[in-house]
Amino acid sequence: MTGHFILSWFYHIFTIFAPYSISTVFGMQGKEIQYLQDIDWLYLRSKKENKLRQHAKVIWMCGLSGSGKSTIAFKLEDELFNRGYVAQVLDGDNLRSGLNKDLGFSVRDRTENLRRIAELSKMLISGGIISINAFISPTFKIRKEARRIIGQQDFLEVYINAPLQICEQRDKKGLYEKARMGLIKDFTGIDSPFEPPLNPDIEITTDKLDIQESVDRLLNFILPHIEYKN
């Protein structure tokens, strides 16, 4: 049933947006979006949430490279699946190899990268699907814009916190070393700033908790938000 639902969801989205290119959809204004405005999105979403017996939310994990975001995200997705929830992980690897492969790592491109991710997340939750996002999301401004696009009530900010030196020790790809040598420019934590969230919905300290402990703590926080209530 889960696979059938996801295929049906993508078909539904495709039939709505098929007449338009991606750039046109993102750039629509005024009369051009009247058709989309006429759709009762909240009603459609509630029907899908009822079918899936879950409330869709965006779980937005931010933190330095190497803090454990993606590892926790995929483990969390698996834990939710085992409990009957439908969730989708979005992270740098699966987005930058496809939808956002035209973007680099300049401030402008990073901002556009996360804007697109926020818009995609909004589409996922409109289909009743929980979106688990794992991105550095380095600045207050970027995270604020993501929250605005998605909606305050659907956005759960999770700070995956680990000290820089711990992140460097975990770095199997040697990215931090290359950044310190000047081979990678604008690398967050080295020559590009990371602004820690001041009031995240939950903070996971991965230098003190192992992966399973981190996932368990996050799961206990999330379940009351996604458990279906009539």
Catalytic site includes residue 67: no
Nearest to 166 by CA among 57, 38, 68: 68
The helix-helix angle for 41-52 and 2-17 (nearest 10°) equals 170
CA 125 to chain CA centroid, nearest Å:
11
Give the confidence band of 205 by pLDDT, cuts at 50, 70, 90: very high
Which residue is catalytic, options 67, 126, 137, 214?
Answer: 137
Pick the residue with more confidence: 152 or 8? Answer: 152
**Mean pLDDT lowest for which of 30-39, 106-115, 162-171, 221-230?**
30-39
Q: What's the pLDDT at 18?
A: 42
The helix-helix angle for 107-126 and 140-150 (nearest 10°) equals 30
CA 97 to chain CA centroid, nearest Å:
16
What confidence tens digit (pLDDT) does each residue in 29-63 have? 555 555 555 566 667 888 999 999 999 999 999 99
Pick the residue with more confidence: 69 or 41? Answer: 69
Domains and CATH numbers, the chain: 40-226 (3.40.50.300)
Q: 89 φ, ψ to 5°?
A: -85, 135
Cα dihedral 145, 149, 153, 158 sign = negative
Q: What's the pLDDT at 94?
A: 76
For range 206-215, the mean pLDDT: 96
pTM strictly above 0.85: no
